[in-house]
């Protein structure tokens, strides 16, 4: 690893566009050796897409990392498409890609929205999961979503009333293009402010607008999950090696969700990272996530 605790930048070994049905075409990248330890990387958002920087969390000599831009996200097509775009659709896509790539089972690595999708996938396909590394836990509960959007109402025009997230969703998803773009920019800047980033210096581009659309689609529908669904399904994956890495100063996915997950799943290894925030690429979180993946690999190898 380099001095910033990340592995050197690398290029994908293979890039594919994979049709998964319903008109959706996924952007799929593979990094590392074909015979490496298989790892599925799940990006955040929902709708964020994978970034090249994410590859630096994985030793390119050890891991066969599969990175998928989920339906409508990133470089997947059609960009921002909401039809046939639910959590269950995304889960089915992941296993379609696994089978298409000839991978028997893999370690699932995901943070934020990716941690939710990791849990949902593992609970449906436990036989295809070797272990899990999750960070910045998000369970998709109404309480988490309300807390996340608590200050959004301050950004609404005075004449707008009601649930601020629902108002933004109506504008972004259903208003004319100019007003939808303006609202998407406000929403994206709201998110950037939470993690200490500067506002966008230009109107959102196509990928950014797609991200806003997909987030509105999921967050206003409780991420297409039943209340408490992921905690109720822990018994299906309790036997799997798993690590929960949580930044204790995470403003986006605060510790209570991770703590609730660990209470439901005490067998999972709990790794609180003091004073760390949401970004898995920050030094403290990167160190913890890289170590966590190594621990899970050791557990898998000891079981084998």
CATH code of residue 273: 3.40.50.1820
- In this prediction, residue 153 has a pLDDT band, given cuts at 50, 70 and 90, of confident
> How high is the pLDDT of residue 62?
97
Q: Name the band, by pLDDT with cuts 50, 70 and 90, for residue 289.
A: very high
Q: Is 95 a catalytic residue?
A: no
Mean pLDDT throughout 222-227?
Answer: 98
pLDDT band for 1, please (50, 70, 90 cuts).
Answer: low
Q: What is the predicted pLDDT for the residue at 90?
A: 98
Residues 6+ apart with CB under 8 A from 159: none
Domain end call among 159, 187, 222: 222
Tell me what pLDDT residue 157 has. 76
pLDDT band at 156 (very low <50, low <70, confident <90, very high): confident
Assign 158 a pLDDT band (cuts: 50, 70, 90): confident
Do 157 and 239 fall within a single domain? no
**Rounded distance between C-alpha atoms, residue 182 and residue 187, angstroms:** 9
Would residue 141 show up in a list of annotated catalytic residues for this protein?
A: no
pLDDT recorded at residue 4 = 61
SS3 112: strand
Tokens 């996200």 -> residue: 73
Report the predicted TM-score, pTM, of the whole model to 2 decimal places: 0.96
User: pLDDT tens digit string along 231-246?
Assistant: 999 999 999 999 999 9
**CA gap 65, 75 in Å, rounded:** 17
Task: State whether 37 and 176 are in the same domain.
Answer: no
**Residue 255 pLDDT greater than 90, yes or no:** yes
Domains: count for the chain: 2
The reply to whether 215 and 229 lie within a common domain is: no
* 222, 246, 270 - which closes a domain: 222
Catalytic residue among 43, 149, 278, 279: 278
Which letter, b or e, does each residue of 44-59 get, where b requires 16 or more Cβ atoms within 10 Å of its Cβ? bbbbbbbeeebbbbbb
In the three-class reduction of DSSP (H, G, I as helix; E, B as strand; rest coil), residue 297 is classed as helix
Query: What DSSP line would sit under 183-203, residue for residue?
Result: HHHHHHHHHHHHTTPPPPSSS
pLDDT attached to residue 15: 98
Lowest mean pLDDT among 46-60, 156-170, 180-194, 242-256: 156-170
Q: Is residue 9 part of a domain?
A: no
With respect to residue 3, please indicate whether it lies within any of the assigned structural domains. no
Residue 296 lies in a domain: yes
Q: Are residues 278 and 133 in the same domain?
A: yes
135 catalytically annotated: no
Residues 59, 69, 93, 250: which is the catalytic one?
250
Check whether residue 124 and residue 31 sit in a common domain: yes
pLDDT on residue 3: 44
Catalytic pick among 112, 115, 141, 149: 112
Q: Which domain holds residue 213?
A: 144-222
Q: What would the mean pLDDT of 265-272 be, rounded to a whole number?
A: 98
Domain boundary among 191, 222, 253: 222
Residue 2 lies in a domain: no
Predicted confidence (pLDDT) per residue in 55-105, tens digit: 999 999 999 999 999 999 999 999 999 999 999 999 999 999 999 999 999
Looking at the structure, tell me whether residues 18 and 119 fall in a common domain: yes
42 and 133 co-located in one domain: yes
What is the signed CA dihedral for 139, 263, 288, 138, rounded to 10 degrees? 10
């Amino acid at each position: 690893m380099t001095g910033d605790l990340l592995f050197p930048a690398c290029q994908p070994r293979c890039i594919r566009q994979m049709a998964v049905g319903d008109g959706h075409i996924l952007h799929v990248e593979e990094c590392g050796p074909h015979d490496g330890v298989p790892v599925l990387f799940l990006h955040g958002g929902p709708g964020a897409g994978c970034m090249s920087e994410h590859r630096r969390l994985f030793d390119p000599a050890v891991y066969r990392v599969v990175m998928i831009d989920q339906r409508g996200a990133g470089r997947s097509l059609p960009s921002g498409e909401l039809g046939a775009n639910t959590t269950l659709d995304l889960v089915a896509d992941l296993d379609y890609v696994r089978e298409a790539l000839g991978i028997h089972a893999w370690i699932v690595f995901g943070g934020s929205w990716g941690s939710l999708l990791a849990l949902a996938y593992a609970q449906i396909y436990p036989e295809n999961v070797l272990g899990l590394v999750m960070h910045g836990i998000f369970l998709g509960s109404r309480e988490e979503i309300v807390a996340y959007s608590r200050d959004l109402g301050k950004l609404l025009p005075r004449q707008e009333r009601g649930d601020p997230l629902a108002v933004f969703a109506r504008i972004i998803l259903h208003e004319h293009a100019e007003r939808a773009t303006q609202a998407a920019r406000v929403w994206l800047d709201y998110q950037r402010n939470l993690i200490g980033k500067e506002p966008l210096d230009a109107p959102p581009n196509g990928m950014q607008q797609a991200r806003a659309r997909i987030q509105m689609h999921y967050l206003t529908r409780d991420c297409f999950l039943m209340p408490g669904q992921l905690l109720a399904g822990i018994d299906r994956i309790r036997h799997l090696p798993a690590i929960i890495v949580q930044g204790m100063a995470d403003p986006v996915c605060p510790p209570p969700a991770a703590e609730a997950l660990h209470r439901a799943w005490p067998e999972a290894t709990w790794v609180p990272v003091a004073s760390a925030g949401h970004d898995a690429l920050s030094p403290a979180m990167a160190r913890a996530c890289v170590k966590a993946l190594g621990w899970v690999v050791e557990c898998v190898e000891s079981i084998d």
